[in-house]
Structure 1
Amino acid sequence: MARLLSGRVVIATHNSGKLKEMRELLAPFGVEAVSAGELDLPEPVETGTMFAENAAIKARSAAAATGLPAFADDSGICVEALDGAPGLFSARWAGGSKDFSAAMARIERELAQRGATNRRAHFVSALVVAWPDGHEELFEGRVFGELVWPPRGTLGFGYDPMFKPDESPLTFGELSSEEKHGIDWENGRALSHRARAFLSLAASCLRREG
C-alpha cells in the first residue's frame, strides 16, 4: 500500500538541475526538501543495471544516512540508432567535468559514424522513494522525440538542448521550466519524463495543500 510523504524529505542528488526541478515539483505539497549535496552526503556507487536500480541505491543511501524519507531520480537519454546508448551511462558520457556539450557532440559523432538517419530517442526517469524502515515506492516516466543538431536553447540542463519531444516544436533547452515540467493536475498530463514520473508519485504519496 502506498505511503504518504510529508514534512521533510531528502532529494538524493548532487545535480543542481535535478534539484531545481524536484523542488519546483514539490512546491504545491508543502514538503520541505533538502538535497544530499546540501547535507554533504557521499554519492553512492551506482552498480545497478537499470534506471530503477540506481535510483533505489541513491534513495536507500540517503534515507539510511539521515533517518528521513528520501527520493532519488535516475534518468537518461536512450538513442535508438545507438542501441539505446548512452542510456544508463548518460551522466558518465559527460565525464567528471559534467561537460554535456561534449556528450551531445559524442552522440552526434557516433550517429554520423554509423551513417544513421534514425534520430529517434527517448528520456527515461525512474523515481524511487525510500523510507528508513525499508519501505520503497517506484515510479517511472518516459518522453519520446527526435534529436536535433546543432543543439538549440540554453534552458534546462544535460542533453535538453538536443532533444525535441514529439509534443512540441521546441527542444527541452528552449522550453521554460513551467513548459517543460509543469503538470496539468486537472487532466493528469505532463511533458517531461521526470514530471510524468512525479505525476505518478504524487498521485500515490503526496497530498496537495488546500
Structure 2
Amino acid sequence: MTKVLLATRNAKKLGELRRIVEAAGLSGIEVLGLADVDEFEEAPETGATFEDNALAKARDAAAATGLPSVADDSGISVDALNGMPGVLSARWAGKHGDDQANLELVLAQTSDTPDERRGAGFVCAAALVVPGGDEQVVRGEWRGTLLREARGTNGFGYDPIFRPEGEERSSAELSPAEKDSVSHRGRALRALLPHLRALA
C-alpha cells in the first residue's frame, strides 16, 4: 500500500481526495492527512499564484515526511473585483480561515453589482511532489455566478454564495458526490490521478 500525504488539516478536502481515489479504483493508495504524520513547520502561503502556493506546500510536506505529497491552493475569483480575492481568499477579511467573515465581505463588496456582472469562478491548483522524484502541478476551474445571499450547508468557504453554471442550486446545496464530479478541486485532483496511479 503506497501512502500519499494530502498536506491539509481540512477534513472536507481530505474526504474529497479519498472519495476521488476510491471512485477511480486506486486500491493501492492510502491517503493520509497532516493529523496522521508528525508535525512539521509549515511555511506561510506567500506565492503570487495558486500554483506557487500549492507547489511550496507539497514540497514542504514531502521534505518533512519523506512521503509523496499532494497539496492544493484554491480560492474564488470574482469578475467585479478584478479577479480578487484570488490567492487571498482564505484571509480576505483579515483573519485566516474565517469563512463567514470572508463571505460577508465579498457580498458587501458586490452588493451594488448588477446580476449580469456577477460572474465568478473557483480555481484550484494541486501539486504532487514525490521525494527525490517528479513534481506535477495541475489546475481546475469552475465557473458560475455570485449569489446575493448564502444558501446551503454543504461545502465550506464561499460555496454558499456560488451558483455553478447550468445549476439553480448553490455549490453548498450540492451533495458531496455531485460537487466532486464538477468542482474546481475535483477537476484538479482527477488530473493528478494518472500520476497517483503510477505511484500505486
C-alpha distance 196-148 of structure 1, shift in aligned 2 (>3 A): same
Worse-matched range after superposition: 78-87 or 13-22 = 13-22
**Does residue 1:35 correspond to 2:37, yes or no?**
no
> Using the alignment, how far apart are the partners of 1:192 and 1:81 within structure 2?
21
Map 1:68-79; keep pairs closer than 5 Å.
68-79=67-78
Runs of 4+ in 1 over 6 A off after TM superposition: none
Q: 3-state SS of the aligned residue for 2:36?
A: coil
Q: Is residue 2:2 matched to residue 1:11?
A: no
Shift of 1:33: 1.1
State the 1:99 CA deviation: 2.4
- The residue type paired with residue 78 of structure 2 is V
Please say if 1:26 is aligned against 2:21: yes
SS, match of residue 110 in structure 2: helix
Instruction: State how 1:189-200 maps to structure 2 within 5 Å.
Output: 191-200=182-191
- The answer to whether the 8 A contact 2:151-2:173 is kept is yes
When the two chains are superposed, the root-mean-square deviation of aligned CA atoms in Å is: 1.8
**1:45: how far off?**
1.4
1:19 to 1:96, Cα distance in 2 relative to 1, 3 A = farther
Q: Provide structure 2 residue ranges, at least 5 long, that are not aligned to the other structure.
A: none
Aligned residue-pair number: 193
| Alpha-carbon offset, residue 169 of structure 1 | 1.4
Superposition deviation, residue 20 in structure 1? 1.8
Q: Which residue is equivalent to 1:188?
A: none
Alignment-derived partner of residue 134 in structure 2? 135
**Aligned twin of 2:99:** 100
Alignment of 1:1-210 (within 5 A): 7-27=2-22, 28-30=25-27, 31-39=29-37, 40-93=39-92, 95-96=94-95, 98-112=97-111, 115-117=112-114, 118-182=117-181, 191-206=182-197
Identity fraction in percent = 41
Counterpart CA distance in 2 for 1:167 and 1:67 is 42
Deviation at 1:35, TM superposition (A): 1.1
For the residue of structure 2 that corresponds to 1:29, the secondary structure is: coil
Using the size of structure 1 for normalisation, the TM-score is 0.85
Shift of 1:41: 3.1
Query: Contact 2:93–2:105 (CA<8 Å) still a contact in 1?
Result: no
Q: State TM-score, norm by structure 2.
A: 0.89
Give me the whole-angstrom Cα distance separating, in 2, the residues matched to 1:36 and 1:73: 13
In structure 2, distance between residues paired with 1:203 and 1:9: 14
